Amino acid sequence: MILILTSNTQPGSADFQKLMNHLDALPGIKTRVHTERGDEQTLTELYLIGNTKALDLEDMQNLPCVERVVRVSQEYRILGRHKGDDRPSHFDYNGVRFGQDTFHVFAGLCAVDTPEHVEMMMKAVAAAGQVCTRMGAYKPRTSPYAFQGHGKACLPYVFELAGKYGIKVIAMEITHESHLHEISEALHQTGNPTGVMLQIGTRNTQNFELLKIVGRQTEMPVLLKRGFGITLDESLNAAEYLASEGNRNVIFALRGMKTNMGDPHRNLVDFAHVPVVKRLTRMPVCIDPSHSVGTRAAGPDGILDVMHATAQGVAAGANMVLVDFHPVPTKALVDGPQALLMPELSHFLEDVQIAREAYLKRVELAARYNQQ
């Protein structure tokens, strides 16, 4: 059960104390306080955990400071959508808003290789009017003998170049808690020229210890990829690990399911789950067409499968796209064959724009019909 307090309730106030005393006296109930400090107001939510079935909704609504009470279903307590739940489904980071109603493309390098390639990428992204990109410094690889990314060594130049080109947010995968500190430090040392969205890959979706540690910091938002061999429900529970530790600025990414039923694509694209995630949770939804499709094959209509998959996700309401580009794919150290080429960036963005506009029209249409 969640008690949403009237905004700007002060933890030191007499009413708040009265409320807490009352809750402490409830048998078998523990209380966890979550405070969200915005620019204009502070929102406080109290999570009651334990035998909440025994509590009466009306009783709770009459307690001091309580504006509204939401009885949560068993799962996704914090990130989930519950009946009568109008908590926000967006957050701001480094001047960029991410929500279930926004849309951003993160075009960039799957794996950072050279400063030259990073700069070419940043420059192209900026020239196309974008403020987000993806850059891989830490790469989990199936074989221990494969290239594992340049790690912290590349962070300073990646961040500086981002700053130079006005990039506000870089999505960057981390595979170990130490990367958290390496990124923080490199940002600090370079004067915070950009922001980082921490990405958890599909092999670590159920690496709960990493999730807990990443969830304990609230400085950077988190992009959690769906596990490619587990159910959607299990992946959403994994997202809840982040939130239960304190960080609710979580974006959920679909990236295809691992099964040869997806052949000749690398994975079986699962973007029909875009509206499902938006219905079950308040997380913005990202799609990763590059890893889902994993090929540069094109249809007889001259459109790459990667673009088709992207358009599908976007036309159904995806809020973010993570897509691999590379200036010289043949020289890419990881996943070169699936990368788009620099001259394709503007085509890609225009194509995505058509799909996004179609989605917005579809929403308007539905609103009109649902009003009737």
Bridge partners (DSSP) of residue 222 are 198, 250
**Does residue 128 contact residue 347 with C-beta atoms inside 8 Å?**
no
Show contacts with a second copy in window 25-44 (CB under 8 A). none
Show contacts with a second copy in window 308-367 (CB under 8 A). 308-309, 311-313, 315-317, 344, 347, 350-351, 354-355, 357-358, 361-363, 365-367
Query: Could you say which DSSP state residue 94 is in?
Result: T
Show contacts with a second copy in window 204-223 (CB under 8 A). 204, 206-210, 212
Least CB distance to a second copy at residue 168 (A) = 26
The one among 130, 175, 190, 247 contacting a second copy by CB under 8 A: 175
Q: Please report the sign of the dihedral spanned by the C-alpha atoms of residue 316, residue 321, residue 322, residue 324.
A: positive
Judged by DSSP in three states, 310 sits in: helix
**Cα 149 to chain centroid, rounded:** 22
The one among 37, 53, 83, 279 contacting a second copy by CB under 8 A: 279
The one among 26, 66, 128, 232 contacting a second copy by CB under 8 A: 232
Q: How many residues at the interface with a second copy, by CB under 8 A?
A: 91
Residue 123 in tokens? 């420059």
The nearer residue to a second copy, 107 or 169, going by C-beta atoms, is 107
The nearer residue to a second copy, 51 or 192, going by C-beta atoms, is 51
Least CB distance to a second copy at residue 95 (A) = 26
Nearest to 189 by CA among 212, 214, 154, 160: 160
The nearer residue to a second copy, 56 or 301, going by C-beta atoms, is 301
**Does residue 76 contact residue 280 with C-beta atoms inside 8 Å?**
yes
Cis before 264? omega within 30: yes
Rounded distance between C-alpha atoms, residue 328 and residue 326, angstroms: 5
Show contacts with a second copy in window 126-145 (CB under 8 A). 140-145
Least CB distance to a second copy at residue 143 (A) = 5
Show contacts with a second copy in window 41-60 (CB under 8 A). 49
21 is an interface residue for a second copy by CB under 8 A: no
Contacts of 56 (CB under 8 A, 6+ apart): none
88 is an interface residue for a second copy by CB under 8 A: no
